[in-house]
Each structure stands twice: as structure tokens, then as C-alpha cells.
Chain A
């Protein structure tokens, strides 16, 4: 009796989870199969999943030649790497100072950091846009990266992490004659790599996928990040060539999805870090 009930509950649970999984996967599966279908099979609107004829090569070649998709991905890489580098170079010493050093204005700075945590890029967007326009820096990599050079989230998170670093070790290093900056980069940072890696994933995913700010400062397609490039491409195609559109979507989604499949734990930790404190 209990065996039957157990079996039934398993069927119910998996039934529910699989139905949900099917819904979640639907766009991914349809994206992949549409990207290898010839136009006539796309336009006959059958529910047939697997194509009768393949035009993967045509679709992907068309997508790659009519829009600089690899260029978009490259731009994404440059922008994300640039942002992350500055965020860490600026954020790590500040987080260390807030965690371990006494200096005037420390509490004020920490409170401002907390305030800034609640302010998304859409808020300073107008003044920053005007400033960038005035100095003629719109349509540059610099303009995409500028609002994100300072990550108050990185400072907040790393401060929490650094606070747990033993003071004795820092004192011993000082007595050995190490300078404070060396202590940060050669002792504290190497022992905080898991937190830094999680933040790196968070930052990379957030800025790879960001649309709002690049949409404002970039009109030159050669500088478009992946989401903006996708927007340019889908506007230009006006929904006529779904084979090429889904091929483009596949190419621009693939890097993060592949990275996620390879490093699932770090990804989940990084992206949901905001929640698990």
C-alpha cells in the first residue's frame, strides 16, 4: 500500500517538474531547431520539431554575414572584462579599508555605499548621458563601462568577507615589514578567491546581458554589446527571417549558457549571491 502511494507521489512530483521543465526549455529547443530549418518549413507552421531538410549552414552563414555577431560577442567580452577589472582594482582596497582600517569618514562612506546599493543605473542615466554627450564620449567602450566602474555591491560583499580575515595574520605581516598594499594583494586577496570568483560571475552575467545603458549610449553597431546587437539585428530583419534570427540568438546566448553548464555551482553562487548574503 505504502509502496503504491510512494510510487504515485513520485509520478505526481516528476509529472509536475517535467511539465514545468518542458515550458522552461520550450524557447531553447525551438530556437535550436528553427535555426537549422529551411524557410519553407518555418513558414508552414507545423508542429513538426525535427526538420525534414537542414539549412543550418545557410541560416548561420546568413546571420554571421548580415550582422557582425562575433563582433558583438567580442564587444561584450571587452566591456565585461574592462568593467570587472576596474571594479576589482577600485573595490578591493576600499573594501579592505572599510573592513580593517580606521580612518576619518569611514562610517559615512559605508552609509553612502549602502544608499548607492539601492540605486540602479537608470537613476544616474540622464546626467551621465548629458555629461558624456558634452565631452563627446558617446559611442565609445568607455561610455558603456563608466557607470559600472564602481560596484558598491562588490565593496559591500568583500567588506563582509574581509572582516572575517584574522587580524593576527595582518599584524604579523606588518611586523615583517610588509606594506599595507602588499598585505591586501598578496595575503588577503588570495584567501578570498571564492568570493571574488562569485562576484566575477555575477558582474560578467549582469553586464553581458544589460540592455538599458548600452541602448542609450551606443548607436554605432560596431560597438554594440550582445543584447543591443540582437536588438539591431531583429529590428533590421523585421521578423521575416526566423531561421537567421534564431541562429543569431543561439550564437549570442551560447557563451554564457556553455559557461553555466561547465561551472554550474559557481554560476548559481554568483548570480544568486544577492540573495544568500
Chain B
């Protein structure tokens, strides 16, 4: 009697397990299919393609080993675009993170005006960058733009910010910073909110009263994980710079604002050097994976603070 009941119970539980397996696989199937079709398979094709001499429109192709990568090493356009991308990141990263932190700390202390500042600084994040880049082009216009008119008031000669090879990339970097500060501010604000208030009270009792001491002893160490995270996301975003280059400078003047993603775009979708562009994309992905590995490491450490 009990054996029969046990047997039935066992069978019911097995049936439930089998049902759960089938349901799970069924639920995951459409996503898995799309993951393979739109992400994993293209990734494999991309890597295979980077070892060939395929150009879009060719009927066949042959494998040329690391030929494309060797070509990239010797390609002055590619090397310049990689270098420019690093310069861009090197300008944007410290300023977008530093200003984001300063603004967040100052805004965090406001009561009545906090909402106002939050809205203003966050506005560029929500706006369409392409449209705003068009406006920036006008602002920076050597003859018609108000920025040169303002500089003229203090006796500075008008500058052609976007057609001077020395100024084009730094100018795009400033716009990148303009676009990112509000985003980083919000991340830092979230980090500040998570710092327990009693830490500050305890510090005040211990005689750590002035704002600089409080920042160095409490705020900065407690914000450490947030700061690392903001640094990584800002690096990734800056590394992927494309929109402002495509609208404002087209990589010019004289290649001074050629960046990695813009080169990939030109090679792959304007000149149709498909296999070569695939190799450049593999390089691009390799950098991103390094950033992501750092991010995963940081996130892992972050949980210990949580």
C-alpha cells in the first residue's frame, strides 16, 4: 500500500520535473534562437571573415591568415584613428568623471534647488546627440557662432574649432564631456545616497568636522566602488565615440578626428573592404572585452561593500 503510494508520488514528481524542464527550454527557446542568430553566429562569422580577403560583392574568398591584422598595423589611417580614440578617452575620462563627482557632491547638499540642478545637468543625456551636435556646430562657427563672439569680447581671436587640426578632437571631447557629466552625476548621487548618515555623525564626534576632512576620510573611500564603476562605463562610452565625428567633422580636418569606430564604419560600409573592416572590428571588440573584464572584476568587488 505505502509502496504503491510512494511509487505514485515518485512518478508524479518525475513528471513535474520533466514538465519544468520542457517549460524552461520552451521559455528560453525564442531568446536563445535570437541570441544565436543576431549575436553569436555573427560574432563567429566576423572572426572567420577577419582571416579572409573577402570584399562585399566578391564571389569567392580565400584565407590570408593574419594578413588583415598585419595590414592594420601598417595602416597609418588605422593607427591614427586608434591613437585619436585614446587621446579622446584620455581627455573625456578624467573630466567627465571628475566633474560628475564634484557636481554630484555639490548637488547632494542642496535641498530646494537639487531638483533644478538635476534636471539641467541630466538634460544632455536625454537629448538626441545628433541634433545637439548640429547646434554645437553652429555655436562653434568661426564667424556666426556665439562662442567666438564671446571670445572676441575678451580679446581672443576667433578660432575655427572644427577645421583646425589641433582643435577638432579636443572640441569633440568637450562635447563628449557635456553629454556625459549628467549621467555620471546621477551614478555618483546614487552612491552618495548609499553612504550611511551616522558615519558622518560619528566622524563629527571624533573631531573630523571640516568638509575637506569629511570628504577624504568618509565620502571618497565609501564612493570607491561607484567611482571605479563610473570610470569603466565612461571609458567604454568614450571609446565608442562616433556620432559627433560623423556629424561634425567626418574625421577631418586632415584625419585629426578620425576615431576607431568611424574608421570601421568607413572601411566596412563606405569602401566595402569587408574582411579588413572585420579585422578592425575584432580589435575594437578586444579592447571592449578588456574594459568589460575590468567591469566584471569591479562589480564583483563592489558586492563586498554592499
Contacts and interface: CB of A to CB of B under 8 A. Distances in A.
Interface of A: 13-14, 16-17, 20-21, 23-28, 30-31, 34, 42-43, 45-47, 89-91, 93-94, 96-98, 101-106, 109, 112-113, 116-120, 122-131, 133, 146-147, 149-150, 152, 155, 180, 184, 205, 208-209, 211-212, 215-216, 226-228, 230-231, 234, 239, 242, 245-246, 248-249, 252-253, 256-257, 259-261, 264, 267-268, 271-272, 274-277
29 contacts: A17-B110, A23-B178, A24-B121, A30-B139, A31-B132, A89-B30, A90-B31, A97-B25, A102-B21, A103-B20, A106-B28, A109-B28, A112-B35, A124-B46, A147-B38, A150-B39, A205-B126, A212-B243, A226-B130, A226-B131, A231-B247, A242-B144, A259-B126, A264-B122, A268-B122, A272-B186, A272-B187, A275-B229, A275-B230
B143 to A, nearest CB: 6
Contacts of B261: 122, 212
Contact of A119 (B39, B113, B139): B39
A190 B22 CA distance: 24
B86 interface: no
B268 A125 contact: yes
B138 interface: yes
A24 B124 contact: yes
| Nearest 7 pairs of A and B residues by beta carbon | A103-B24, A124-B42, A94-B31, A101-B24, A118-B292, A150-B34, A227-B130
Contacts of A127: 41-42, 45-46, 49
B125 A271 contact: yes
Nearest to B121: A24
A123 B285 contact: yes
Contact of B274 (A122, A126, A205): A126
Nearest to A25: B120
A193 B30 CA distance: 22
A47 B137 contact: no
Nearest to B232: A275
A31 B135 contact: yes
Contacts of B134: 230, 234, 245-246, 248-249
Contacts of B76: none
A124 B38 contact: yes
B190 interface: yes
A74 to B, nearest CB: 15
Given A113-B35, A128-B38, A17 B27 contact: no
Q: Which of A45, A113, A226 has the most CB of B within 10 A?
A: A45
Nearest to A155: B31
A152 B35 contact: yes
A30 B127 CA distance: 15
A21 B149 contact: no
B289 interface: yes
Nearest to B54: A130
Given A234-B247, A271-B183, A17 B119 contact: no
Contacts of B292: 117-118
A212 B139 contact: no
Contact of B246 (A184, A215, A253): A215
B173 interface: no
A212 B46 contact: no
Given A24-B181, A93-B30, A257 B123 contact: yes
Contacts of A106: 24, 28
A252 B134 CA distance: 12
Contacts of B141: 239
B263 to A, nearest CB: 12
Contacts of A150: 31, 34-35, 38-39
B25 A103 contact: yes
Contacts of A119: 39, 43, 285, 288
Interface in B24-75: 24-25, 27-28, 30-32, 34-35, 38-43, 45-46, 49, 56
Contact of B233 (A94, A146, A275): A275
Contacts of A46: 149
A20 B99 contact: yes
A32 B170 CA distance: 26
